[in-house]
Every structure is written in structure tokens, then in C-alpha cells.
Structure 1
Amino acid sequence: MNFLAHLHIADHCDSSLLGNLLGDFVKGEPQAQLAPKLAAGVMLHRFVDSYSDSHRLTRAAKELFPGRARRFSPIALDMFWDHCLARRWADFHPESLRAFCQNAELLIQGEHSGDLPPRYLQVSASMWRNRWLESYRDFATVELALERMSGRSPRMAELVTCFPYLEQGRCFPNPVNQSA
């Protein structure tokens, strides 16, 4: 769900932007389903998810969510990480966030080929139309996104309970000051 981070990393690594977005929508072996460049993007997405999910700071952040909210904390944290990246975008990228998003959308449209997962097409159309990535600068957008996602199915209903813990944790300890 951290689409902005995945696009930023893909851009930095000169990887397929579309492939990196598809990482949450392609199941199984991407090499058997996608062109090589897109499959490599999916694999980069999976590597980034695996690395960040197993990082000690992410594991510690998940512990800040009690009870059932902990189960959904990875999704909420992904949204929070995108909020943090959007807020400090100028520290990490030479283009403005708006310009980056506009260019990413154009590049991704140029990469479209063949059949793409219907859920990806639905989500990405809404993402670009409603300028989600740019809106992540506003913390209230994270709350709105979690509310909308939690309303999609009864299985996801608990996701909305994560926001208060994100709000409390907006001042996560500075990792620079923590010992390894």
C-alpha cells in the first residue's frame, strides 16, 4: 500500500514503475505472467516489502499497535511511511512531488501492455484521478484512506482501529538516536 515509496525506489533503481506498482496485485511467479521488465519490477517490490517488514524499526513500530490492530499494522504503517515520504519529499528527490507524480503517471501509461490485473486497473485509475500520492502529505488523508479500505470488506473492518495508534506515534523515536 506504500505506492509512493515503491515508485520512488523504482525511479532511483531505474526499475519499471508499473512493475513496482503491480507488486501488490500479481500473485505467484511474475516471470510466468509478465514481460521481463515488469516482472523485475514486481520482484523489486517484493524485495523492498520483505526488507522493510523484517527491519527492526518496523517490527518495533508494529509492537505499538495493541491487540487486533497489530494484525493490520503493516498496512497502516505503509500508509504512514508514504505520508512521511510525501512530507519530506524534497529531502529525497530533486523533482517536486507533483512533477514526480505527473511524470510517473505518464511513464506508467506508456508501459501498459497486455492484460493487467483488474484490481490494479481499478486502484490505479482512482489513485491517479484523485492524486492520492500527493494528498499523502496531509495526515488526515491517511485516516480517510484507512477508513475507506476498512469499509471494503468485513475482513478489513479492523483496519480503521489503527489510525489512533498512528496518530499517537507520529513522534516515533528518532532511529538515529537508537542503538543497533
Structure 2
Amino acid sequence: MNFLAHSYLAFSDGHIVGQFLQDFIRNKDRFSFPPEIVEGILLHREIDTFTDAHPEIHEAKKVFSPLVRLYSGAFVDVAFDYFLANHLPEETLKLHAERVYGVLGHHLHLFPPPFHRMLEGMERDNWLYHYREEQGIHFSFRNVLNKARYLDKNLAVFEVFLNNRPQLEAHFMKFFPDLVRHAETFNSRFRI
């Protein structure tokens, strides 16, 4: 899953920090943070593992894989953030985005400098909120293309998304409730 889904599935501020921190730390350092942040790191990994194994994700990847091969999962993640953003009430999404930026800004000292620059752009352009718009998702697809080492930067990934939006949304609608239940079950293990 991508930024919005990971932050949406966080059950506390510490989980939000851990969900984002996961992509910026070495594996051996994951247990060197306060317990709630470690839980967020572990939750991030659990979400990714569950997502990668889900049959709806395998089907959704088929939409992108003829064009982007092994990167199809990254584009599915971005597409699913679009659907999540559009299934949340607008005010809920706005408040969620503000909360995430505030929490991350308050814990910036835990993140390496590349994340500081990313958060600055994320907040300035309100990425989490703008996932609900075609322009915002197009921007996210461009970011994935720009980071992908072996892909042509001009691939028509956004057009593939637009042409297959109903199919992708159907996969999202079957997948996301399963993910929410799985994350809640995983989280409940920390609360015993």
C-alpha cells in the first residue's frame, strides 16, 4: 500500500510515525524506537505482506504488468490510494492529512534528511488529500516512473489507469475491507 493507506491504517500517532519510518530505516534498527513506533513499523510490514499475497492484488497487477512488469505492484498501491481517498468523506480526508503532517513534523528528528525534504513537499502540495484527484494521482504515477530504474519515463501508465478504473476499483472494493480487518486483528495483538 501507499502513503494514504498506511497512514489510514495506523491506530495511533506512534503507528503513523512507524508506518512512514519503515521505508527509511535499516532492518536491524527497527527495534531501536519506542514501543508504539515499533508497532507501527511492524504493522507496515504486516500490511505489505498481506497485500502482496491477496488474490485481488494479483488480479489488479495484471492491469499494469504488460506495461511496467515487476513495477505493477507500485502502481496498484498508488491507484488504491486514489480509491481510498475517494471513498472517504472529504472532510475526514482533510483532517486525516492534517493530522499525519502534524504527527510526522513533530517526530521529524527520528527521520533522515531525505524524508525531511519529502515531508516538506508532501505537506506543501498536500499529497494525502490530493490523492482523490486525477491530477494528484497522475503526479504520483510520475513519481513512481521517475524512481523506477528500468522504465521509460514516458510510459502511458496514467492512461492505463484511466482506461481500467472501474476494474481496478472493483479489485479495491473486494480487497480493502479484508486489509482493514487484518490490520485490526494484527493491532489487537499489541493491546492484550
Q: TM-score, length-normalised on structure 2? A: 0.76
- Listed as ranges, the gaps of 5+ residues in structure 1 are none
Q: CA RMSD in A?
A: 2.7
- Report deviation, 1:133: 0.7
Higher mean C-alpha deviation, range 20-29 or range 127-136: 20-29
Matched, 1:142 2:137: yes
Counterparts of 1:1-180 in structure 2 under 5 Å?
A: 2-11=2-11, 16-90=15-89, 96-114=92-110, 116-152=111-147, 154-157=149-152, 160-172=155-167, 174=170
Gaps of at least 5 residues in structure 2 are 175-192
SS of residue matched to 2:64: coil
Larger relative contact order (Cα-Cα within 8 Å, sequence gap ≥ 6): 2
3-state SS, counterpart of residue 137 of structure 1? coil
Q: Percent identity?
A: 24
Provide closer, same or farther for how the CA distance between residues 20 and 56 of structure 1 changes in structure 2, counting only shifts above 3 A.
same
Aligned residues: 172
> 1:32 deviation in Å?
4.3
Q: Deviations over 1:80-124 (max 9, x none)?
A: 111101111129xxx62111211222222233444x223222222
SS in 2 for 1:124: helix
Q: Is the 8 A contact 1:62 1:73 kept in 2?
A: yes
